[in-house]
Structure 1
Amino acid sequence: MFSVRTTRGAVSIILTDVIICAVSFGITIGFLTDSILLSFYGPLFSYATLALLSCIVVSSSAIGRLYSLMEYLHPVDLAKRITPTFFLSVAFTSIFAFLAENLLIFRWQMIPALVLIYAILFFFRYLIFFVLSKNRQRVLFLGYSGLARGIIEDDLAKRFKGYEIIGLLATADYRPGEEFYGIPVLGTVSQLEQVTRDHPVDTIVVALRDRRGKLPMEDLLRCRVRNVRVQECWSFYERIRRKLPIDDFLTPSWFVFENGFYQSSLNASVKRWQGLVVSGIALLVFLPIILLLMILIKLDSPGPVFYRQKRVGMNGKVFHLLKFRSMVHDAEKTTGPVYAQEDDPRATRVGRVMRKLRLDEIPQLFNVLKGDMDMVGPRPERPFFVKQLGDRIPYYNLRHTVRPGVTGWAQVNYTYGDSVESAKQKLQYDLYYVKHMSWYLDLVIVFLTVKEVLWGGGR
């Protein structure tokens, strides 16, 4: 249920899809194509066509959200997603066949290959759904709290997510037979052992706020030795929501003694070199786009091409962040510092497009090379807002214990925010990243960022 595991599963499925493409392509070519023609063009043609076909299938599947494991509810819903994805792949294949006639000799043979690919994909996805649905964790809540209510009310909790909330044990406020936001009350806290014997339970989530004399430690211990997992509510919340709760649940001592929030010197070195390599390659790849944007920005509105702004970095150090100018010149001259908005009226015509595609962030790659930022990390904020948010949001300055990033865990999981509440939500994702920071998670975030830029998503 960890987010990294979920994303790792998606990456594994992508690799499996590529293998399915290779097998299906080989079968189709073997049965429907003249072997003399194939031998004439050689294996290079086959590899190029296979690579193109794999890109088409993976791209279409990403657009059709076929890599969201948590959204497989029923084979009918799966068929509703695969069908338009198949026709999208056919459309992409037809376009490439028309534009690159010399490359795609076997144009009509590609359609049977796609039919076979998506037939296998449907069977493979259904097999995943069948296996995972038979192994869902049965969860029992011990007590209730605002955090428990948030989990239960969450729409994701009502869809397939690898677990099933079977019920709740309440205090005196609720009686057996009643419901707590749609979840049945199976008994009282004192009936824990009996309820776990009457109902199969894999995980007990302890959600009692006031535990003085109310926590049945002996019953919990007996459940534990029967291989029933016992978790704190905040820990369960972290696993399924992929962020840390910060309101009234986490204390300074928790941050001190909790696992995570540690990066070895080796991981730090790998992360730094990873950022240098990725940013260097990205600058070379984006060089034509950079030159084009510089011209368009200059033609679109008066003012400089680049925009330098003070931001707070690692350990509170202030640095100058570099961006393409996406707003009118001196946009804050009369208003002072204000939050940028999703549809900001101050944005120029070119700026709106750049912000939509995140192209205005490209110059920050120079900040990465300089060492002020990494490719991945909490987004740096302006000193004016850091002072405000630090006074109003607990643990806000913990996000400054690592280098800020061009992209981050909050950016791929949360929409555009322009308020204290949205900053609090993003902080929960940032703290999750700081706790679980690794080179692999960085690669996952880069992958998800590219996916959002190419196929849509929030910012």
Structure 2
Amino acid sequence: MIRIFRHYISSAFLWLLVFEAVIFYFAMYLGSQVRFLYQPSWYSEADIVNASLIFAAIFTLCNISLGLYRRNLGIQEYDLLARVSFSFGVGIFVVVSIYYLFPNFLIARSVLGVSIVFAFLGMMLIRYFFYRYSKIDRIKKQVLVVGSGNKAKELVELNAGYLHKSFNIAGFVALPDELCCIDEALLIKQDKSLNEVAQDLNIDEIVLAIDDRRRGMPLTKLLDCKMSGFDVIDLVTFYERERGIVSLTNVYPSWFLFSDGFAVSGLRSIGKRLFDILVSLILLAVAWPIMLMTSIAILIESGIKAPIFYRQVRVGENNRNFEVIKFRSMVVDAEKNGAQFAQEKDNRITKVGAFIRKCRIDELPQIFNVLTGDMSFVGPRPERPEFVEGFVERIDYYAERHRVKPGITGWAQISYQYGASEDDTVRKLEYDLYYVKNYSLFLDISIILHTIEIVVWGKGAR
């Protein structure tokens, strides 16, 4: 994992992106060479280079938007052929549109056809080798865990559902008088120092997973390892890097004081505001026909007198309340019995509402909240005051998510399912705190691109 503008990115998938972008570039370049193998080319070298750059950029962006470089893509979510086919379909449409809208970049259909075949075959070949060799343990980060309790046990399953496992646990070192929850086969049983064990196993990193910090840590042994060149990190940092969360079960108040991040400068706020306005205007220009058709569909289903929009008070930045605007997706009297979470197969949701929720179309009117400054395009999901009051009392650090403006989409929205319980709220708070801590324009752009995957695949909508 590497850190780019404070956000952790899988180095393996970053290299995969680079290799496939190169494949896409040369697919177009070789396509033109094959097409004009026995006759003079119609295009200059500069024409082919420009066309190849456009082809590579568009197809790479489509792959990013379909989650094909997301490390935490689960095995159950993974459908390579479906995702690649959809990505190529969108890519072909965009490339053709650009080539024909801008004649300077026009490429013959025969050249484009051959290039697409080369690109698809090249990508499949790269993916075959990537998924085959990325499973080899010796090329992963080797981790030694100090501790054998419940927190250590949780690390065993951390990588289990991922296609690409970025680290391998070489073993666990039990502490004296600690309740062991680890399989004995995974325990390091040697009469050697921690430093010697780390050297024997070629360890890259030592992770502290101690259930009770009050019992004390083996500071002398850990210092010996640190001074010998081994990285030693705590669970909060480990989860932040590997899962993109601030782990609430492992965090402690002093961590917030001394950790980097959580900085909101004036210049950064201005940059984010300009980015919000630009993205919102672009989305509004593209989405207004969809918004018009949605309005008509709601009126047809519910009647001409039924409201199209739904306004609701939500908590914004610095605990200021505002009215969020959404397309109405439930029956008019949905909350006659008081505020409540939306549930799976909620009978209050209309037929049109079920569709627009699945595609996230119901969120589009929030563009106007962004333009008025109540919301940001990217940020934590805005919650209702009735819920927030209780969450602040019962959930530690919940109020910290209101240090930034709420967003139409966000790190928690694309990383976790729709929250329908207080436990879900805690899990999503961990993602929200990661965003508040590590905000950057790069992270916002990454979230927006991955939101396309959520819309296309319908993940997390309810």
State whether TM-score is above 0.5.
Answer: yes
One of 154, 163, 179 as aligned partner of 2:167: 163
**Counterpart for residue 297 of structure 1:** 298
Shift of 1:40: 8.4
C-alpha distance 49-298 of structure 1, shift in aligned 2 (>3 A): farther
**Counterpart for residue 30 of structure 1:** 33
Equivalent residues in 2 for 1:137-216 (5 A)? 137-156=141-160, 160-172=164-176, 180-181=182-183, 184-187=186-189, 191-211=193-213, 214-216=216-218
**Counterpart for residue 377 of structure 1:** 379
Shift of 1:180: 1.1
Query: How far apart are the structure 1 equivalents of 2:297 and 2:46?
Result: 43
More helix by share: 1
Shift of 1:123: 4.8
Query: How far apart are the structure 2 equivalents of 1:142 and 1:97?
Result: 52
The answer to whether residue 58 in structure 2 is matched with residue 39 in structure 1 is no
Conserved 8 A contact 2:309-2:327: yes
C-alpha distance 114-435 of structure 1, shift in aligned 2 (>3 A): same
Query: How far apart are the structure 2 equivalents of 1:432 and 1:82?
Result: 29
**Counterpart for residue 76 of structure 1:** none
Query: How far apart are the structure 2 equivalents of 1:270 and 1:92?
Result: 30
Look up the equivalent residue of 1:20 and give its one-letter code: I
Equivalent residues in 2 for 1:245-260 (5 A)? 245-247=247-249, 249-260=250-261
The answer to whether residue 418 in structure 2 is matched with residue 416 in structure 1 is yes
Look up the equivalent residue of 1:413 and give its one-letter code: S
> Number of aligned pairs?
448
Q: What are the Cα deviations for residues 17-74 of structure 1, in whole angstroms up to 9, with x where unaligned?
A: 34422321221222224887962899889967985787568647865x542346799x
Conserved 8 A contact 2:152-2:210: no
Equivalent residues in 2 for 1:126-141 (5 A)? 130=133, 134-141=138-145
Query: How far apart are the structure 2 equivalents of 1:97 and 1:385?
Result: 46
Query: How far apart are the structure 2 equivalents of 1:154 and 1:456?
Result: 24
Look up the equivalent residue of 2:317 and give its one-letter code: M
Conserved 8 A contact 1:138-1:203: yes
Name which structure has the greater RCO, CA cutoff 8 Å, separation 6+.
Answer: 2
Conserved 8 A contact 1:82-1:118: no
**Counterpart for residue 77 of structure 1:** none
Conserved 8 A contact 1:179-1:185: no
**Counterpart for residue 437 of structure 1:** 439
What root-mean-square deviation, in Å, do the aligned CA atoms of Structure 1 and Structure 2 show? 4.0
**Counterpart for residue 360 of structure 1:** 362
Shift of 1:16: 5.2
Q: What are the Cα deviations for residues 98-134 of structure 1, in whole angstroms up to 9, with x where unaligned?
A: 999x999855655543342234334544666648955
Look up the equivalent residue of 1:153 and give its one-letter code: E
C-alpha distance 414-195 of structure 1, shift in aligned 2 (>3 A): same
C-alpha distance 182-399 of structure 1, shift in aligned 2 (>3 A): farther
The answer to whether residue 305 in structure 2 is matched with residue 311 in structure 1 is no
Unaligned runs of 5+ in 2: none
Shift of 1:390: 1.6
Shift of 1:159: 5.8
C-alpha distance 221-125 of structure 1, shift in aligned 2 (>3 A): same
Shift of 1:287: 1.7
Q: Secondary structure of the residue that 2:189 maps to in structure 1?
A: strand
Shift of 1:255: 1.4
Query: How far apart are the structure 2 equivalents of 1:266 and 1:218?
Result: 44
Query: How far apart are the structure 1 equivalents of 2:359 and 2:245?
Result: 25
Conserved 8 A contact 2:20-2:123: yes
**Counterpart for residue 270 of structure 2:** 269
Shift of 1:412: 0.5
Equivalent residues in 2 for 1:51-130 (5 A)? 51=54, 55=58, 59=62, 66-69=68-71, 107=109, 110=112, 112-125=114-127, 130=133
Query: How far apart are the structure 2 equivalents of 1:224 and 1:42?
Result: 54
Conserved 8 A contact 2:313-2:384: yes
Conserved 8 A contact 2:246-2:431: yes
Look up the equivalent residue of 1:169 and give its one-letter code: V
C-alpha distance 260-144 of structure 1, shift in aligned 2 (>3 A): farther
Look up the equivalent residue of 2:377 and give its one-letter code: M
Q: What are the Cα deviations for residues 2-25 of structure 1, in whole angstroms up to 9, with x where unaligned?
A: 683327875775565344223212
Shift of 1:145: 3.8
Identity of aligned residues (%): 35
Query: How far apart are the structure 1 equivalents of 2:173 and 2:31?
Result: 57
Query: How far apart are the structure 2 equivalents of 1:46 and 1:35?
Result: 20
Conserved 8 A contact 1:66-1:81: no
Look up the equivalent residue of 1:421 and give its one-letter code: D
Look up the equivalent residue of 1:31 and give its one-letter code: V
Equivalent residues in 2 for 1:332-371 (5 A)? 332-333=335-336, 335-371=337-373
Q: Secondary structure of the residue that 2:341 maps to in structure 1?
A: coil
C-alpha distance 449-233 of structure 1, shift in aligned 2 (>3 A): same
Unaligned runs of 5+ in 1: 74-79
C-alpha distance 124-5 of structure 1, shift in aligned 2 (>3 A): farther
Shift of 1:173: 6.0
